[in-house]
Amino acid sequence: MIVVRGLLKKYVLNASGPNDSNLSELETIAKSDSAAVMMKSCTIKPREGNQEPRYKRLPLGAIQSMGLPNEGYEKYVEYSSILKKYNKPVIASVAGFNADEYVALVKAFQNSDADLVEVNLSCPNIEGKSQVAYDFEQMEKILGRIENLGNKPIGLKLPAYLDLAHHKKAAEIILKHNVSFITCINSIGNTLVIDYEAAGPVIKTNGGLGGLCGDYIKPIALANVRVFYELLQDKIFIFGVGGIKSGTDAYEFLLAGADAVQVATVFEKEGPNCFERINNELNEILKRKNLTIESARGKLKNSKSLLIKQEK
């Protein structure tokens, strides 16, 4: 965690998802006020992704079923070298369809110029594929194979857990393995938004089911960050994600225990200026309260501990 914390000079960066698929988009992020350059979750082979329409803006966020469109991992290995000239941390994000692919992807980026490797165990919109992070046996097997492939810190991009028993099991697995950070949460999968005039779903793939993003998921994201902050006992760096569009939102995630936050929906809507705006708004809040990132992190008042004592 110390290694990850030392890499980031600011609190807000982009999440893997929108506007980070090609070199031009990644260089736009690199030139912005983003704390790092998070690359697109990549697969072994290039993917076109799901059929259109697959992304729909909503009043309080978006619903999407992108299907991991990306240029294939070899391109992002190449991009990681090019992006180093911007003197900003580069984070690879990888998504495999089986354990062997996860091994190949992590190994490739361990031998690249990327600084961190985010392992996406939570993509909710690949048809016919379950989320590894909901299958704890599979999750542990994959971690056992990828945790010691190199010296670069690896982390896990996690889905929303809605049961404390699941949080506890995930935390137990994470603490057993060589995991340096977690990213929570990914968009919430299998949600449905209907266009009542057309009498059909607003996106086409998978019967209209897709991942919900933005303001809609913020309370769930905050809860996941808070629970993992307590269960992981400050041993694992936490990226908070979900509905962050202002300095106030970022401050709430800071209070919940997030070491940094990633933004996606607001970045897609507003463009790269959102990073500077949110960072400035957060700094104004901290200045007004005479706080720092370090002194405010995890300091949620009147919050009874969710930790349950372990049996001896």
In degrees, to the nearest 5, what angle opens at C-alpha 107 toward C-alphas 22 and 44? Answer: 45
Name which of 257, 30, 16, 189 is nearest 119 in CA terms: 16
Query: Cα(273)–Cα(276) distance, rounded to whole angstroms?
Result: 6
Name which of 56, 75, 76 is nearest 66 in CA terms: 56
For strands 209-214 and 116-120, give the pairing: unpaired
Alpha helices in 93-185 (DSSP H): 99-110, 136-146, 164-176
Name which of 179, 176, 181, 162 is nearest 227 in CA terms: 162
- The helix or strand, by DSSP H or E, that contains position 261, with its residue range, turns out to be strand 260-263
Check: CB of residue 4 under 8 Å from CB of residue 237.
Answer: yes
The one catalytic residue in 123, 184, 213, 274 is: 123
Query: Cα(202)–Cα(223) distance, rounded to whole angstroms?
Result: 28
Does residue 274 have an active-site annotation? no
Query: Cα(39)–Cα(206) distance, rounded to whole angstroms?
Result: 26
DSSP 158: E
In degrees, to the nearest 5, what angle opens at C-alpha 141 toward C-alphas 149 and 36? Answer: 50
Token pair in block for residue 130: 């379950």
Where b means 16+ CB within 10 Å and e means fewer, 223-235 reads: bbbbbbbbbbeee
Q: Which residues does the annotation mark as catalytic?
A: 123
